[in-house]
Amino acid sequence: MIQEALAKGQSALSEYDSKRFLSNFGIPVCQETIVSDADSAAAEAPKIGFPVVLKACGTHLTHKTEAGGVVLNLRGKGEVKKEGQRLLKIEGCEALLVQEMVLGHRELVCGLTRDSQLGPCVMFGLGGVLTEVLEDVVFRIAPLTSWDAKEMIQEIRSRKILEPFRGEYAVDLDVLSRTLVALGEIGLQYEEVVGVDINPLKIRPDGKPVSVDALVVLKSAGTIDP
Domain boundary among 69, 100, 131: 100
* H or E, element range at 214: strand 214-218
In a domain, 120, yes or no: yes
In a domain, 226, yes or no: no
Distance between CA atoms of residues 124 and 226, nearest Å: 10
Distance between CA atoms of residues 31 and 153, nearest Å: 25
Given this model, what pLDDT does residue 67 score?
86
In a domain, 204, yes or no: yes
For the chain, residues with pLDDT lower than 50 are 221-226
Residues 159 and 83 in one domain: no
Domain boundary among 100, 119, 151: 100
The number of distinct structural domains making up the chain is 2
Residues 13 and 75 in one domain: no
* H or E, element range at 71: strand 70-74
Residues 83 and 125 in one domain: no
In a domain, 48, yes or no: yes
Cβ-contact 156, 124 below 8 angstroms: yes
* H or E, element range at 119: strand 119-126
Residues 119 and 203 in one domain: yes
Cβ-contact 30, 102 below 8 angstroms: yes
Given this model, what pLDDT does residue 23 score?
98
Residues 82 and 139 in one domain: no
Range of the domain at 84: 32-100
Given this model, what pLDDT does residue 87 score?
97
DSSP structural state of residue 212:
S
Cβ count near 19 (within 10 Å): 25
Domain boundary among 100, 117, 144: 100
The structure's pTM equals 0.92
> Could you report the per-residue pLDDT of 106-147, keeping only the tens digit for each?
999 999 999 999 999 999 999 987 677 778 999 999 999 999
Helix residue ranges per DSSP H, 129-209: 131-134, 146-153, 173-189
Given this model, what pLDDT does residue 222 score?
42
